[in-house]
């Protein structure tokens, strides 16, 4: 029998050894990503190469494959390097809670190929907008990165331990938190993801 998930946000208190002094009741959460979810970062997994324009923005609203789980995205330009302009790609979609979100990626470098890395965890992708380039020879593809989305609004980093493929990681992960934007709560393990189970232990 499955029990209904416990609500950690009701404001429960625990006693202390001081009279009339109580502390918030924190809970240890065990968050896991399966081997099929914690796959290696890769380019072009969300949408493969598509052409851009030198005169108008290029907008894609179909042809997406959503990430295996909420995670950050990457945007890569290719084709003709002399046509690359310092524009910022905008991606829209939803976060872990199915709320509509968007992210403006860092600008490309003029006349150079690059991959720009996003910081927000996307559950789905619904739209990609690429401003006009300096020429029509640039292609764009969107992939996924190493940052896994966390399903908690965290005011500060409460991650205690990470386990990768049943081995405790020696080095702490990189954790980004936000008390207001769920998509900005992410964890980047010290180990590179490669289709191995990930376990995260944190206080909530």
Render pLDDT for 103-133 as a digit per residue (tens, 0 to 9): 999 999 999 999 999 999 999 999 999 999 9
pLDDT, mean over the chain: 96
CA distances from 37 to 70, 75, 93, 193 (A): 9, 20, 19, 10
pLDDT exceeds cutoff 80 at 2 = no
> Are 115 and 186 contained in the same domain?
no
> Residue 55 falls within a domain, yes or no?
yes
pLDDT tens digit sequence for 42-72: 999 999 999 999 999 999 999 999 999 999 9
Q: Which CATH number characterizes residue 91's domain?
A: 2.60.120
- The angle subtended at Cα 107 by Cα 101 and Cα 111, nearest 5°, is 145
> Residue 4 falls within a domain, yes or no?
no
CA 166/CA 181 separation, integer angstroms: 30
Q: Which of 123, 146, 169 is the last residue of a domain?
A: 146
Predicted pLDDT at 10: 79
pLDDT exceeds cutoff 90 at 4 = no
């Amino acid at each position: 029998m499955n029990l209904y998930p416990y609500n950690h946000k009701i404001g429960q208190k625990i006693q202390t050894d001081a009279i009339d002094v109580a502390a918030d009741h924190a809970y240890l959460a065990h968050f896991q990503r399966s081997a099929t979810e914690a796959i290696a970062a890769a380019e072009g997994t969300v949408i493969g190469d598509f052409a851009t324009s030198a005169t108008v923005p290029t907008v894609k609203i179909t042809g997406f494959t959503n990430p295996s789980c909420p995670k950050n995205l990457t945007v890569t330009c290719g084709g003709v390097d002399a046509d690359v302009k310092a524009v910022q790609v905008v991606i829209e979609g939803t976060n872990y809670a199915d709320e509509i979100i968007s992210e403006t990626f860092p600008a490309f470098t003029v006349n150079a190929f690059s991959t720009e890395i996003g910081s927000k965890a996307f559950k789905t992708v619904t739209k990609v907008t690429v401003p006009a380039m300096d020429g029509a020879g640039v292609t764009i593809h969107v992939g996924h990165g190493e940052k896994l989305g966390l399903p908690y609004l965290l005011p500060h980093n409460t991650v205690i331990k990470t386990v990768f493929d049943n081995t405790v990681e020696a080095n702490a992960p990189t954790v980004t938190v936000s008390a207001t934007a769920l998509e900005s709560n992410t964890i980047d393990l010290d180990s590179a993801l490669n289709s191995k189970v990930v376990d995260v232990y944190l206080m909530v």
